[in-house]
A and B are shown apart, each in its own frame.
Chain A
Amino acid sequence: MSLELFLQSLVDGLLMGGVYGLVAIGLTIIFGVMKVINFAQGALMMLGMYVTYWLFALLGLNPYLSIPISAIVLFFIGVGIQKGILSKMMDAPEHNQLLVTLGIMLFVENFALVLFKPDFRSVNVDGMPTTLSLLSININTGKLIAFVFAIVLTIVLFWFLKHTFLGKAIRATSINRQGAALLGVNTNRINYIAFGLGAGLAAIAGSLITPFFYTSPDVGSAFILKAFVVVVLGGLGNVLGALIGGLVIGIAESLGGVFLPGSLKELMTYLIFILVLLFRPNGMFGGKVK
């Protein structure tokens, strides 16, 4: 294997890992606050992709400019899901919560399938070169932008959780729900915000990948399992962990692609997952919203 090929896959993996991290951060916040594993996270990301796609297809809007719109739309959808469905499930057994989010996923994915048909759709950005060359390594511009966004967003979010009143309330709820409620935190409201935030982050990730990834109703399922792996790797509820976990999985996958033929590289993800589940179920750093 040449050094060039190695560096190329390393860069590809790193950039894609940022996107995995972004999808996973939403998942990890939802888990951290509500202890609910959200199977519908990939489906919410897919909806975000469609918001961006339709704004582009109908109004010619630049995908990057549609990010706030898709984030806001999905924030409210997320709040709606929490208010209408999950809020009734907060004390239910864990597997029932899993099943409800599975039901939401089934509904949302197939709703999109009925509405938009299974066609693969793509978005292009005017005036943006597809690749940049750097020392004979080709970098996909869309992936690079997504990666930068992911890093910046994670830092912003981390700061938000650490230094704002709302962020502290979210962390307090995550650590000790009763305690936070006793101190005057409106934990129901925190739930709505956390789920909305998680959905909004999924949407941002979705919008960011539209320039280099096909939009289709089942696109979420390609990401959801990876997002779970990333979340467990980073520690459930750990925002920075999710980003690092995303980078690890991205790199493992693209290096796996160098050594393994066909789609066998996907095995890397699941292998890492099962090993982590067995030996470090609390992730690389242990879990709490940090």
Chain B
Amino acid sequence: MNKSLALVASILALLVIFPVFIESQYIMHISILILYYSLVSQAWNILSGYSGQFSFGHAVFFGTGAYTSSILLTKYAMTPWIGMLIGAAFAVIIGLVIGFLSFRYKLRGAYFALGTLAFAEMLRIIVQNLEFFNKTLGILITINPDPLMFQFESRMGYYYTILIFSILATMLVFYISRSRLGFNLVAIRENEEAAQSLGVNTFKNKMIAIAISAAITALGGTFYAQYILYIEPPTTFGNDVSVAILLPAIIGGMGTVFGPFVGALVLVPLGEITAHLFGGFAGAHLMAYGVILIVVILYLPGGIVGWILERLKIRGIKKM
């Protein structure tokens, strides 16, 4: 335990200090991407990794967060720091509606996955057909580097913002994984009927999980909007977004505290390297992700962290 605590503390210290020594804007950008993917994937992990309710439509929450804060900013000049919270609240409402329908009617496994996919698609179609959301043109956010307006002069500001978000989300998941809620969710994942018969209110626990998951995903959406300064329906509500959200957690290890971070740490640089190797061919990095996904599911179903924990157990060291 002390060993792992020391390890986590030193990784944290490294994450806080290292930008000071980095000159390259490109490396800063990659680091921001890693932290941002670990945030949204951690959000997915709460619902899908721990409770086993597999969402293929997390873009629905992501897009809700991105669009809410951006509309409030461009139309009503509201700072995204507040818009982000309103976006999260909307995402929770949508999450509860989806959760209520799905869990009430016992949608499971593939049915739940396809259902969430359909919800995300519905929202994408609605947004791109309404004048209020600027249809397919998307929303352009004016450059205005003011930390109070969630915009920063340099990448440093974005880096520390997303670092704080990711740390908080990871701490939350760490706390959940050791709480009653976490144990209930794992029980639901392993055997829902058994959990129910042992007195776990499975419906309530799944609703809590989807609400927390939706809120954090929406925060990621706002961060994305403020970092890229441009959003449009396909890049916020599209299927690719849902896939990008779930990949790091799967590769890193579903239902583990550090899985999403480890997954993002592997996937983001790998995607960059592949893109360079293929001379910037569009799609090359996704091809690599496809291969990795297949290989991991076939040979490391617990993901990278799952595999490490397995090894540690074999060596007789107590689980982290």
Contacts and interface: CB of A to CB of B under 8 A. Distances in A.
B55 to A, nearest CB: 10
Interface residues of B, number: 41
A225 B301 contact: no
A179 interface: no
A95 interface: yes
Interface in B46-105: 52, 54, 56, 101, 105
B250 A99 contact: yes
B287 A110 contact: yes
A160 interface: no
Given A96-B301, A98-B54, A277-B105, A107 B113 contact: no
B287 A107 contact: yes
A98 B287 contact: no
Interface string A74-103: 000000000001001100101110111011
A103 B118 contact: no
Contacts of A102: 56, 243, 293
Contacts, number: 126
A106 B114 contact: no
Q: Is chain A's binding surface mostly helix, strand, loop or mixed?
A: helix
B157 interface: no
A208 to B, nearest CB: 25
B286 interface: yes
Interface residues of A, number: 44
Interface in B271-288: 278, 281-284, 286-287
A99 B297 contact: yes
A274 B101 CA distance: 9
Looking at chain B's contact residues, the main secondary structure is: helix
B283 A109 contact: yes
B233 to A, nearest CB: 10
B175 interface: no
A200 interface: no
Interface in A233-290: 261-264, 266-267, 270-271, 273-274, 277-279, 281
A104 interface: yes
A229 B118 CA distance: 9
A85 B117 contact: no
B34 to A, nearest CB: 20
Contacts of B135: 262
B205 interface: no
A108 B293 CA distance: 13
Given A103-B293, A277-B105, A266 B125 contact: yes
B128 to A, nearest CB: 7
A223 to B, nearest CB: 13
B114 A262 contact: no
Nearest to A111: B287
Given A266-B125, A274-B115, A274-B118, A95 B290 contact: no
Contacts of B114: 37, 228, 232, 273, 277
B143 to A, nearest CB: 29
Interface in B227-258: 239, 243, 250
Nearest to A217: B283
Contact of A95 (B52, B101, B121, B128): B52
B293 A94 contact: no
A113 B113 contact: no
B126 interface: yes
A95 B126 contact: no
Contacts of A85: 294, 298
B289 interface: yes
A20 to B, nearest CB: 15
A113 B291 contact: no
Contact of B294 (A103, A232, A279): A103
B125 A277 contact: no
A162 to B, nearest CB: 27
A37 B113 CA distance: 10
B171 to A, nearest CB: 27
Given A274-B115, A277-B115, A110 B109 contact: no
Contact of B101 (A103, A267, A278): A278
20 contacts: A94-B110, A95-B113, A98-B54, A99-B297, A100-B297, A104-B294, A106-B286, A106-B289, A106-B293, A107-B287, A111-B283, A118-B282, A229-B118, A232-B114, A264-B126, A264-B129, A266-B125, A277-B105, A277-B114, A278-B107
Interface of B: 52, 54, 56, 101, 105, 107, 109-111, 113-115, 117-119, 121-122, 125-126, 128-129, 135, 239, 243, 250, 278, 281-284, 286-287, 289-294, 297-298, 301
Given A98-B54, A99-B297, 16 more contacts: A94-B110, A98-B113, A100-B293, A102-B243, A104-B294, A107-B291, A108-B290, A225-B121, A264-B125, A266-B125, A267-B122, A270-B121, A273-B115, A274-B118, A274-B119, A281-B111
